[in-house]
Amino acid sequence: MRLVAGLGNPGAGYAGHRHNIGFMVLDRIAADHGFTPWRRAFRGEVAEGRLGAEKVVLLKPGTFMNLSGEAVGEALRFWKLTPADLTVFHDELDLAPGKVRLKDGGGHAGHNGLRSIHAHIGDAYARVRIGIGHPGHKDAVAGYVLHDFAKADADWLEPLLQGVSEGAAFLAEGDGARFMNAVALRTAPPRSSTTVAVPEAARKTPQTPQTPEAEVPLLQRLIDRFR
């Protein structure tokens, strides 16, 4: 069994914020994979279902971001799980919009949600870092993350949500490479081309063959010379 948490802030007023992309991911997974309806539990909301062969509980903490560890810690203790059974989806300022990276353990890099989880259960859990870009100056960060995605962001946000949902079963089963491949197929699909490569020799302009002078009969050359 795995616990998958998405980080964000509760309430309709925060629903479209960049900081809430963890909630958006879980909502998409729950809808696409037939999870149970969301219900109140562990100071948040949970939905239960299966991803591939794995039983999975999705958790959206109902505390604000900087108290996320309270809900995550309660859920782990209730199901007698360890930090190694936890995966957390969260926004990442230091990645370009739409970029996804997996991380197993390590620091929280100043992210308040991760900082809270570290305080409650330690750092030995997996994270899926979802890039939202950086506003360019640290003083603008708070306003940036606590603001709705721009309309133009839909161009990368929708393919990202689709790719993460399609690869979720691989992630639950511990196959990070196949998960990342599923995401990449939606966010950076390989380019197809209908252009047929033309061999180098065929691209050269045909030249009229020239007869070498040595091949012209000697008598004909003498005749031509004394005309």
Would you name the residues annotated as active-site residues?
A: 19
Listed in sequence order, the residues at least 6 apart from 52 whose beta carbon sits closer than 8 Å to its beta carbon are 169, 170, 172, 173
User: Percentage helix, strand, coil, to 5, in the chain?
Assistant: 45, 20, 35
Q: Which residues of 92-122 are buried (b: 16+ CB within 10 A; e: fewer)?
A: bbebebbbbeeeeeeebeebbbbbbbbebbe
What token pair was written down for 55? 């039983």
What are the C-alpha distances in Å from 72 to residues 12, 25, 68, 172?
21, 17, 6, 17
Distances (CA, A) of 202 to 18, 112, 169, 205: 53, 62, 49, 8
168 CB-near residues (< 8 Å, 6+ apart): 29, 33, 51, 179
β partners of residue 57: 3, 48
